[in-house]
Amino acid sequence: IKQLLGLLLFAPVCVLAQSTDQNYVKTETVLNSSGSTVKSVQYYNGLGYPTVSVSTTGDGGQTSYSAITYDALGREERKYAPVSIGSSIGYDTPTGISYGDNTPYGRTQYDALDRPVSVTTPGSAFASSPATIAYAANAANEVIRYGVSGNSLVQDGYYPATTLTKDTHTDADGKKVETFKNLFGNIVMQRVGGSLCTYYVYDNLDRLRFVLPPKYQSDKNLAATGYEYRYDDRGRITYKQLPGAGYTEYWYDAADRMICMRDAEMRSSSKYRFFIYDKFDRLVVQGLCTNCLNSSTVWNATFSSGSAGVLGTGYSNTPALTNAELEIANYYDGNQSANSRFSSLSLSSTSVSQKSQLTGIVTAATNGEVLAQAMLYDLKGNITSSKSKGIGGRIASNTNSYTYTNKLSQSTSTIGVGYGGNMTVSESFGYNGYNNQQSSHTLTVNHGTAANGSVSYAHNSLGRLSTVSRS
């Protein structure tokens, strides 16, 4: 639950309150029924630029400050590292905060065209080693010009001088990455370490067709070291070749949904993987068959509780399939309860609508068994209970509860392991009342004899994990 408080002026000031002589947006996130909140305030200058950000970060309610300052042209110049100075969320300038470092900020410098040319990392140790960016153009005979003819890669000399932009990024350790772009802003070549060149090749419609890694520059073996992509007239990828692997093919229906694909392994066994959707474009059935579906027709599957449907899923109005094998069936809106595969997976009733939720999944295992799982959701889309049937028909059930901020609070699972009664696994999660960081995790496993374990977490004033204690 969040409350947004806008611009407040001339309100009484208290020690822990935001400063009312500044423009600000205050956010409070409610954590529990007792009213504990996490507070954050973003301050702005008179031009609407963010300046100081304050938020509750420490386990003891400490707040952290971070700030941004701008140069005379309104460009971001200094970005200060976060620092904790107590529990106030009031405004303070960077000069009024003690950092214990002469250079507690990262600084960005610009050229006359407002392009960043130097960026430092916060801290005195890094102030003299900035990352730099140099802007130039390509030289003659520097970048190979690759092109596309039909479905073939062609090489056509070099790009003439000054026809590509060249950005040279040098990090604080002196490592360089040079990036060359064409007039459309597409990366044509990227060079790392002065010699390792990766080329990107586009067709006349600016679609990426080939990626040529450094290895390709020496062996010229596209199948072994290159990437290739092909598209149909609507810009949908239909062919993909990865280094050292057979190519993968894709087919789509008139609604731009992928309905079939096959890789080299499927091709060797004359199979396709098919995909069937409902009218909301949700995947409902996936499997293998020996015929490629008709791409000129849009099939919107419908679920009927009184119909076996394709492969026993209950879905009808589907394309004709030859030698079909089920891999996955998805059920939405609570429809899974009408399918016989979920007869042993009934869940408790709820007044919360399950519309648009994925409430059931059927998966075919490689040993021929059909596995199933049913899920129930709360108003926020969190799974509150589920029940599944695994290998050997073993049943596992789970219930969950959540905090105000949708973090998992309690989870209990009961698993039919097939001997010695059911196994029960209980988990509880604790969260700090100031910063909502996880503070504890307790696990109890009971299968005749109970075993317990717990972990505690502590965070410093900036909200960073400081200690982990196990028992």
Output the pLDDT for position 12. Answer: 32
Output the pLDDT for position 287. Answer: 97
Higher pLDDT, 285 or 85: 285
Output the pLDDT for position 5. Answer: 40
**DSSP-assigned letters across all residues of 419-468:** SSS-EEEEEEEEE-TTT--EEEEEEEEESSSEEEEEEEEEE-TTS-EEEE
3-state secondary structure (DSSP) of residue 217: helix
Global pTM value: 0.87
Output the pLDDT for position 74. Answer: 95
Output the pLDDT for position 434. Answer: 94
Output the pLDDT for position 56. Answer: 95
Is the pLDDT at 248 greater than 60? The verdict is yes
Mean pLDDT (the chain, rounded): 92
What value, to the nearest 5°, has the Cα angle with vertex 353 and ends 349 and 355?
A: 125
What does the block give as tokens for 367?
Answer: 């040993």
Is the pLDDT at 13 greater than 50? The verdict is no
Output the pLDDT for position 16. Answer: 56
Banded pLDDT at 4 (limits 50, 70, 90): very low
Tell me the domain boundaries of the chain.
130-230, 246-319, 333-402
Q: Which residues have CB under 8 Å from 237's CB, separation 6+?
A: 229, 230, 231, 250
Quote the percentage of the chain above a pLDDT of 70.
97
Q: Which residues have CB under 8 Å from 366's CB, separation 6+?
A: none
User: What is the DSSP-derived secondary structure letter of residue 113?
Assistant: T
Residues 332, 338, 339, 344, CA torsion sign: positive
Is the pLDDT at 44 greater than 80? The verdict is yes
Output the pLDDT for position 1. Answer: 43
Q: Find the radius of gyration of the CA atoms of the chain.
A: 30
Q: What is the mean pLDDT of residues 197-219?
A: 97
Banded pLDDT at 351 (limits 50, 70, 90): confident
Assign residue 114 a region (left: φ > 0; alpha: ψ between -120 and 50; beta: otherwise): left
